[in-house]
Amino acid sequence: MSDITIRYLESGDEAEWRRLWTGYLEFYESAVPEAVYRSSFDRMLQGNAGVPNEYRGLLALVDGKPAGLVHYLFHRHGWKIENCCYLQDLYVDPAFRGTGLGRALIEAVYEKADQEGCPAVYWMTQEFNHTARQLYDRIGVLTPFIKYNRS
């Protein structure tokens, strides 16, 4: 593969971040209002700057071109002293799928979690996301938990 760089989102990344996050949302047949785009990007910039309890975001660049993203959050857990890391969104541009970029983004979150003394990293996906689950089965452990939402 070409030259890969994974780094924190920066203020000048907003247009490309929006392009990638829109692709992620469309995959899940979802959309968010403009206010959520603005708020999410601003929160991740704050989290990347060290503001506690804010989301963080990483951008994957291939030969300098944005090709993927990951969003994550550190949070308290009632059964642990240390924080947990929730990997909320992971997306790789279709042109770069199958190149190891998704794995590199997850491993970058693992590294950030380790730097924060946070050994537990978890995420969810939809059952039908078979392609991503092939990666997740190699890099994580499937749990028996079932998610519920407030009705």
Q: What does the chain look like in DSSP terms, one character per residue?
A: ---EEEEE--GGGHHHHHHHHHHHHHHTT----HHHHHHHHHHHHHHHTT-TT--EEEEEEETTEEEEEEEEEEE--TT-SS-EEEEEEEEE-GGGTTTTHHHHHHHHHHHHHHHTT--EEE----TT-HHHHHHHHHHS-----------
Q: Which domains does the chain show, CATH number per domain?
A: 4-139 (3.40.630.30)
* List of the chain residues with pLDDT < 70: 1
pLDDT value for 2: 76
Q: What is the pLDDT of residue 56?
A: 98
Structure confidence at residue 91 (pLDDT): 97
pLDDT number for residue 147: 87
